[in-house]
Structure 1
Amino acid sequence: MTLNRRQFLGSTLPLVALGSSSHANANIYSFAKPPIASDADTQIWLVGDSLPYPAENEANRLQALLIKHARVNDSYLSGGAVAALEEKFSSLLGKESSVFMPTGTMANHIAIRILCGEAKHALVQQESHVYRDESNCVTTLSGINMVPLAAGKTAPTLTELSDAISRAEIGPYPIKVGAISLESPVRRTQGGTLHMSQIEEIAKLARSKRIPMHLDGARLFLMFGMPGFDIKNYCAPFDTVYVSLYKYLGAAYGAILSGTKAQMDKARELRHILGGTQSSGWQAALPALDALEGVEQRFTAVRHAGQNLLSRLEKLEGFKVHRIEQGSNIATLEISAQRQSGLEQRLKDANIRTRKIIDGKLPLQFNESLLRRDTDFLVDAFAGKN
């Protein structure tokens, strides 16, 4: 007997059929074993950008998505859920075309390589992922010199950028700057972001020098709900944009790179040359595609819930909130010794997970799990009922 993909996956997971054996019910299943960890649906994680996805529940989650979505299969990253995801991102970001990438490192590298062309000189933030966390990938594989700016800060000033361009262009052997890469939000500055006015100023300078721009927007969706943020407007000044699929969209891996059709055709060629053309990518594309439904509303709600919690806590004696300027989803809660008494147990009883308190300070990160309980419940867990 020949099995299609859904039948095969269904036969290999711990599933049993429900109802009659008619064709209408052929793809409706009940799990022989329920998800193991009930905490996964109720726990509040004030750590990380994403909902927790316990490994023991992943087969069940993927099976449910296969039932929900039709025409999932892709062939070497062409068609199916991969193509649907690419099309969805193009529309969302306001770009002509998009390409699935297996990693964000590859997405950043390919984007900068395409934009630079023969002008192998790129300006980047010193605290950016592409400079600090990708092991000189761009330089090693494409021979592009990356010039770091704005040490310890979220973004370079216009003067810093202008001076860096001048240093390259002026002299006996002028160098053409091939690209400017900007990350926003920046994880190494605790989720600090570039304001739209900053981007517009930088874009104006870049255009005057005919320098293309790349946005490392791995965590871009965390900006939903920030005053004045519009994702298409934010991406418009950039020639290419990268967004992560696994940081908060429920995928096990993967990234999307967006730009013009010509750029993305080239990106597909480079993806293959660099070993990134997998035999299939639906396993990552499908969860991300599903998560895109209502993503702006959910992430906006997370931001409002987080701000509400911080506002409530800072009104109580013994708590002090330290916000990040132009921050996305991270803040620090300073807690008095008196307030720390019994706090660990209260949080445990309330099924809330946080990092450790160090020197009286507790870092907080807000994600979709914050929406599982109301603000009163969370305040009581931190402060106790007054």
Structure 2
Amino acid sequence: MPIDLRSDTVTTPTEKMRDAMRDAVVGDDVYGEDPTINRLEQLAAEIVGKEAALFVTSGTQGNQVAVLSHTQRGDEVILEERSHIFYYETAGLATIAGVQTRTIKGINGQMPVAEIAAAIREEDVHCPKTGLICLENTHGDSAGSILPLSYMEDVYQVSRQHQIPVHLDGARLFNAAVGLGVDPKEITKYTDTVQFCLSKGLSAPMGSILAGPKELIERARKWRKMLGGGTRQAGIIGAAGIVALEEMIDRLQEDHTHAKALAEGLALIDGIDIDAESVETNMIMFSIGQLGMTAEEFVSRLNKFGVLANPAGPNRIRFVTHREISMDDIDKTIEAVKNISASNIAKAKL
């Protein structure tokens, strides 16, 4: 089996999840009659400290439903310029929600709070209304960086002053909570709504949760139906989500430990540029610019060693650890990179 470091989305369900899926008591969820989905939504809401929750088929759908539920067509949404909602969700904000984006360059996913405040529109016939502020924690394009609680609070205070809701794309919310050593509620209390994935590090086969105020979640349920996300006997999938929330959160620390070990090993290799100290969760990014090859070439060479990875730019590589990556896999990956580096440096000297 290859060592698959492309993403934590490649995780497969555990045996307990498979058993739970087989034995799940199900009903028609569109009618609200699937007891397993109802239990999953109640559990999820309790974990993140919100009134209600909604099971959605993916994180992208959860984010889209959240924006639709918070805003009206023609509103403007403030979000970080490399955020997943803006950069990787196929322009859903424009094509489906009909909102305009106001992007702000962040550092490690953190938009300067003063710039967020300055971006909020005053009442003016010429301008759109600022309808929503979106944050992402952890921030995927910043190598899984965690937004500090103090930052979350500062943004939340600005949002309260201007009466603008905050939506958190918390696809890897629990990685952030484990990394900070806090209850997830300590993060989500600074948001109106939160979306988090069951299908990444938590290892469920699919699905995400949108949680927030009861009235908004009821609106979101209708938007979900419009987007084709109203499913019937969804408890077969929801059963795995319950196992994910009950058993898979605490073990994320192991993924973080492996990521740190991988980063520290890579930092010792000639031609690899990485800041191992900055690794906070289960994701690392590094530059191979000194090796004189493109990211695509590097990934192709890795494949020959049985290691799968994704480019994250012309000379940038991303590795993501997860439940199916062992310490032995980490050692083998470091050795593979060491071999590629040594081979290329030797070739350059000829």
TM range (shorter): 0.7 to 0.9
Secondary structure in 2 matching 1:178: strand
Structure showing greater Rg:
1
1:306 to 240, 255, 259: 259
Alignment of 1:130-145 (within 5 A): 130-145=85-100
C-alpha distance in structure 1 between counterparts of 2:37 and 2:253, whole Å: 26
Partner residue of 1:291 out of 244, 248, 263: 244
CA–CA separation in structure 2 for the residues paired with 1:371 and 1:171: 56
Inter-partner Cα distance in structure 1 for 2:141 and 2:315: 21
Alpha carbon RMSD of aligned pairs, Å? 3.7
Q: Is the 8 A contact 1:47 1:364 kept in 2?
A: yes
In structure 2, the CA distance between the partners of 1:159 and 1:371, relative to structure 1 (3 Å rule), is same
- TM-score in terms of structure 1 length: 0.71
Q: CA deviation at 1:72?
A: 2.9
Residue 76 of structure 2: which of 110, 116, 121 is its match? 121
Query: Is 1:233 aligned to residue 186 of structure 2?
Result: yes
Deviations 1:149-188, CA, capped at 9 Å, x for gaps:
22786231112111111xx206565654221111222333
The 8 Å contact of residues 319 and 333 in structure 1, kept in 2 or not, is answered as yes
Residues 1:377 and 1:115: Cα distance change in structure 2 (over 3 Å): same
Counterparts of 1:108-257 in structure 2, within 5 Å, are 108-116=63-71, 120-150=75-105, 154-165=109-120, 168-169=121-122, 171=124, 173=126, 175-257=128-210
Are residues 1:89 and 2:44 paired?
Answer: yes
Where in structure 1 are there 5+ consecutive unaligned residues? Answer: 1-38, 338-343
Query: Which of the residues 207, 212, 216 maps onto 1:263?
Result: 216
Is the Cα contact below 8 Å between 1:123 and 1:147 reproduced in 2?
A: yes
Contact 1:127 1:152 in 2 (8 A): no
The letter for the 1-side match of 2:88 is D
* Structure 1 CA distance for aligned equivalents of residues 82 and 8 of structure 2: 19
- 2:4 aligned to which of 45, 54, 67: 45
Match of 1:370 among 325, 338, 341: 325
Counterpart-to-counterpart distance in 1, 2:207 and 2:117 = 34
Contact 2:167–2:193 (CA under 8 A) maintained in structure 1: yes
In 2, are the aligned partners of 1:85 and 1:289 still within 8 Å (CA)?
Answer: yes
Assess if the C-alpha contact under 8 Å between 2:260 and 2:276 holds in 1: no
Secondary structure (helix, strand or coil) at the match of 1:73 reads coil
- Letter of the 1:126 counterpart: E
Which is bigger in relative contact order (C-alpha 8 A, separation at least 6)?
Answer: 2
The question of whether the paired residues in 2 share the 8 Å contact of 1:323 and 1:330 is answered with: no
State which drifts further: 361-370 or 191-200.
361-370
Letter in structure 2 aligned against 1:85: L
Question: For 1:283 and 1:242, how far apart are their aligned partners in 2?
Answer: 21
Tell me by how many angstroms 1:282 deviates: 2.5
Cα distance in 1 between the residues matched to 2:302 and 2:279: 31
Q: How big is the shift at 1:333?
A: 5.2
Give the % identical residues: 23
Q: Which moved further from structure 2: 213-222 or 145-154?
A: 145-154
Aligned counterparts of 2:183 and 2:70: Cα–Cα separation in 1: 24
Report deviation, 1:235.
Answer: 0.8
The answer to whether the 8 Å contact 2:77/2:134 transfers is yes
1:229–1:47 CA distance, 2 compared to 1 (3 A) = farther
SS in 1 for 2:232: coil
Give the Å deviation of 1:297. 1.8
Paired amino acid for 1:298 = R
CA positional deviation for 1:299: 0.3
Q: Say if 2:48 and 2:184, in contact at 8 Å, map to a contact too.
A: yes
SS at match of 1:206: helix
Q: In 1, are the aligned partners of 2:58 and 2:207 still within 8 Å (CA)? A: yes
Q: In structure 2, how many angstroms separate the alpha carbons of the residues matched to 1:200 and 1:357?
A: 30
Report if aligned partners of 1:46, 1:364 keep a CA contact under 8 Å in 2: yes
Q: CA deviation digits over 1:234-259, x for unaligned, max 9?
A: 11110000012323333443221000
TM-score normalised by structure 2 residue count: 0.77
1:101 to 45, 50, 56: 56
SS of structure 2 residue aligned to 1:241:
strand
* Paired residue secondary structure (1:114): helix
Say if 1:125 and 1:312 are closer, same or farther in 2 by CA, change over 3 A: closer
Count of aligned pairs: 328
Note the residue ranges of structure 2 that are not aligned, 5 or more in a row: 292-299, 340-350
